[in-house]
Amino acid sequence: MPTLTPQRLTELKVHANRVREGIIRALLAAGSGHSAGPLDMADVFTVLYEHVLRHKPAEPEWDDRDRLLLSCGHIAPVRYSAMAYGGYFPVEELLTLRKFGTRLQGHPERVRLPAVETTSGPLGEGLAQGTGMALAAKMDGKSWRVYVVTSDAEHQCGLHWEAAMTAAKFKLDNLIAIVDRNFIQIDGSTEDVMPLEPFADKYRAFNWEVFECDGNDIAQVAETIEKAKAVKGKPSVIIAHTVPGKGVSYMEGDYTWHGKPPNKEQADQALRELEAERERILAHG
Amino acid sequence: MASALDGVAAMRLAELKDPANVKQVPTRNGFGEGVVDAGKRNRNVIAICADLSESTRMLGFKEALPDQYIEIGVSEQLLVAMAAGLASAGKIPFIASYAMFNPGRSWEQVRTTMALNETNVKIAGAHAGVSVGPDGATHQAIEDIAIMRCIPHMTVVVPCDSIQTKKATLAVAEMTGPVYLRFGREKTPVVTTEETPFELGKAQIFREGRDVAIVVCGILVYNALIAAQTLAKHGIDCMVINNHTIKPMDEETIVAAAERCGAVVTVEEHQVFGGMGSRVAEILAQRRPAPVEFVGVHDQFGQSGDPAELIEHYGMGAVAIEAAVRRAIARK
């Protein structure tokens, strides 16, 4: 995959900005949901859907697609927004988030929305399912890859590490985990609630290849995923350091925005800030 | 009423008259044979084991079909969730451990990644019931039917002997959807033959009768048949129904049996709360109210002991079934 040209980088930045806009509009319409995580992962999801994934939005269940799993289902708005802006469904459908009859359930359901790959929300289950998929691909000699996006706090779940051990045992180099390392969870800082550090060392001890990057720097994210794809004989993890609530000034770094949506006034301010940022990107790259 | 089955049951019953000579084979052996056949018939059938390959009888699969076998160590939550991932990529995983851990430990993974996610995973719950024996209460799953039958989309099957367990294994491999297949550790009487039909969701009348319908599943079918034989000598004519599919249950056969006999006794190696008997009572309460007596474990945990001794102690032996039948008749 070619390195990002300056023009492409600008396009992706604008795209991520639109994804954030979609998140804010969806959360306002829903009146409930999570804000900080979706916003901080908009850059990663933009890179995945627009630059990395082998997929066909018009044929969501194409057999040879790369599988993108969202283990921390509560940040679904970022995935839904990235899918909408990526051509899977109309952007206006985002306004059905969490409403009766919607395909965009509060936590994603595979049976309702093809290509979300798993039903998620109960934490710590994504890597286990991704490990199963990656192993199936190896057994069948398939070239598609599995990407599993996880939160940092779900590394407090035992099942996640059962899967980490197993992925290493089967040398699943077609499996890449991406951790949203934003240091927040419902009850506060991850390091206060249940310390995760030394985080990278834990994965190394489980025989994974470890990469770290700024998860809000699109060029870095793209470059790091390329490095992870080149790893042979073991699974890779990318610890993506993100700023919770990224892109909305009053949310950035504030854990209290983990599990609540903006009200009308707050959403309007967020959308104004995002629009100003978009103009800045278009003017200066 | 399935009269064709009566002949088969009667034929077997003649052989069962001398319990000392009845052939005894663990139901888990039937699973072991069935899963190998299923794996040979369809190469997408895979077996995943959590460090219990010999005792769950997956060892034969490992030896016969090594490329379709996966060992993941002691991690039962992973067993389910990883299988769901494999299933969503086209595999048909059979996942085996003791019923106490699979699905006992992994219930939320079963609900989310198997059932809500609609993946084609087959749980093989081995060593179910108090008949595990000396291992004691920690390893005696007697709540598993209840926690599985309340999950939408789940099929729950409890075959009665080793031959039927093999047939059930092959049958669930052929159907699409999440399944819980329950079987035991001990050698238990073989009450069916290779020729006995087996159809998922279709209860089998193993003995005709008109006074009380004994609705039973699993290894206790034998005890129910022995109880019916004894009661017949005292002029009490029991129908015996092998109710192997707990979900979806064969409502028509259950309702027709209550209609004919006017009283029902349910028998299962499980808590009487929430299991097979509870489902029978739900059906009858709605469609054909009748007195029901429940044979099973009554709100207790098990303990160490010989399997036969524990079955007797917890009130699931033939004599206890006879007493339940008499209670049911008295309530008519």
What is the rounded distance in angstroms from the CA atom of residue A183 to the CA atom of residue A152? 7
- Same structural domain for residues B145 and B54? yes
- Same structural domain for residues B261 and B286? yes
- B86 contacts chain A (CB < 8 A): yes
Flag if A129 and B67 touch (Cβ within 8 Å).
no
- Same structural domain for residues B237 and B93? no
Tokens describing residue B217: 């599943």
Flag if A132 and B67 touch (Cβ within 8 Å).
no
pLDDT at A195 over 50: yes
The pLDDT value recorded for residue B21 is 75
Asked if the bond preceding A198 is cis, omega within 30° of 0, the reply is: yes
- Same structural domain for residues B126 and B50? yes
- B87 contacts chain A (CB < 8 A): yes
- Same structural domain for residues B16 and B139? no
The pLDDT value recorded for residue B9 is 54
Cα–Cα distances (Å) from A105 to A18, A26, A102, A116, B90, in that order, read 21, 12, 6, 11, 25
Cα–Cα distances (Å) from A200 to A155, A219, B54, in that order, read 12, 21, 37
Domain ranges of chain A: 6-284
Cβ–Cβ < 8 Å for A272, A248: no
- Same structural domain for residues B58 and B182? yes
How high is the ipTM of this complex? 0.92
- Same structural domain for residues B17 and B93? no
Which own/partner contact pairs does A190-198 have at CB distance under 8 Å and 24+ positions apart?
A190/A152, A190/A153, A193/A153, A193/A156, A194/A153, A194/A156, A196/A152, A196/A153, A196/A155, A196/A156
* Chain B contact probe: residue of A157, A159, A175 with most B CBs at under 10 A: A159
CB pairs under 8 A between A and B: 96
- Same structural domain for residues B17 and B142? no
The pLDDT value recorded for residue B277 is 98
C-alpha closest to that of B190 among B62, B328, B9, B4? B9
pLDDT at A51 over 60: yes
- B67 contacts chain A (CB < 8 A): yes
Question: Nearest CB to A163: which of B78, B91, B112?
Answer: B78
What is the extent of the structural domain holding B153?
Answer: 24-189
pTM: 0.94
Contacts of A132 in chain B (CB under 8 A): 81-89
Cα–Cα distances (Å) from A103 to A50, A89, A106, A114, A115, in that order, read 22, 11, 9, 9, 12
What string of H, E and C letters represents the secondary structure of A209-222? EEEEEECCCHHHHH
Flag if B89 and A130 touch (Cβ within 8 Å).
no
- Same structural domain for residues B120 and B214? no
Tokens describing residue B73: 């160590």
Per DSSP (E only), the strands in chain A are 67-70, 146-151, 175-181, 184-185, 188-189, 209-214, 236-241
| A65: nearest CA partner in chain B | B89
- Same structural domain for residues B223 and B182? no
- Same structural domain for residues B243 and B311? yes
C-alpha closest to that of B247 among B279, B204, B282? B279
b/e string for B75-85 if b means 16 or more Cβ within 10 A?
bbbbbbbbbbb
Digit-coded pLDDT (tens) for A72-89: 999 999 999 999 999 999
| B112: nearest CA partner in chain A | A119
What is the rounded distance in angstroms from the CA atom of residue B179 to the CA atom of residue B155? 5
Total number of domains constituting chain B: 2
* Chain A contact probe: residue of B71, B80, B112 with most A CBs at under 10 A: B112
Digit-coded pLDDT (tens) for A129-177: 999 999 999 999 999 999 999 999 999 999 999 999 999 999 999 999 9
The pLDDT value recorded for residue B4 is 40
DSSP A202-259: HHHHTT-EEEEEETT-HHHHHHHHHHHHT--SS-EEEEEE--TTTT-TTTTT-GGGSS
Cα–Cα distances (Å) from B142 to A108, A223, B136, B206, in that order, read 33, 53, 12, 25
The CATH class of A6-284 is alpha beta
Residue whose tokens read 């000699």: A141
State which of B171, B189, B207 marks the end of a domain. B189
Digit-coded pLDDT (tens) for A227-274: 999 999 999 999 999 999 999 999 999 989 999 999 999 999 999 999
The Cα of A111 is separated from the nearest Cα of chain B by a number of Å equal to 6
What is the rounded distance in angstroms from the CA atom of residue B184 to the CA atom of residue B127? 4
Neighbours of B24 (CB within 10 A): 14
- B110 contacts chain A (CB < 8 A): no
| A73: nearest CA partner in chain B | B112
Cβ–Cβ < 8 Å for B164, B192: yes
Q: Which amino acid is at B195?
A: E
Cβ–Cβ < 8 Å for B328, B293: yes
Flag if A166 and B77 touch (Cβ within 8 Å).
no
pLDDT tens-place values along chain B, 332 residues long: 444 444 455 545 555 656 667 899 999 999 999 999 999 999 999 999 999 999 999 999 999 999 999 999 999 999 999 999 999 999 999 999 999 999 999 999 999 999 999 999 999 999 999 999 999 999 999 999 999 999 999 999 999 999 999 999 999 999 999 999 999 999 999 999 999 999 999 999 999 999 999 999 999 999 999 999 999 999 999 999 999 999 999 999 999 999 999 999 999 999 999 999 999 999 999 999 999 999 999 999 999 999 999 999 999 999 999 999 999 999 99
For A5, which DSSP code? P
Tokens describing residue B201: 């969701």
CATH, residue B237:
3.40.50.920
- Same structural domain for residues B203 and B176? no
State which of B173, B189, B205 marks the end of a domain. B189
The Cα of A125 is separated from the nearest Cα of chain B by a number of Å equal to 7
What is the rounded distance in angstroms from the CA atom of residue A122 to the CA atom of residue A150? 12
Which own/partner contact pairs does A276-282 have at CB distance under 8 Å and 24+ positions apart?
A277/A17, A277/A247, A278/A14, A278/A17, A278/A18, A281/A10, A281/A13, A281/A14, A281/A17, A282/A10, A282/A14
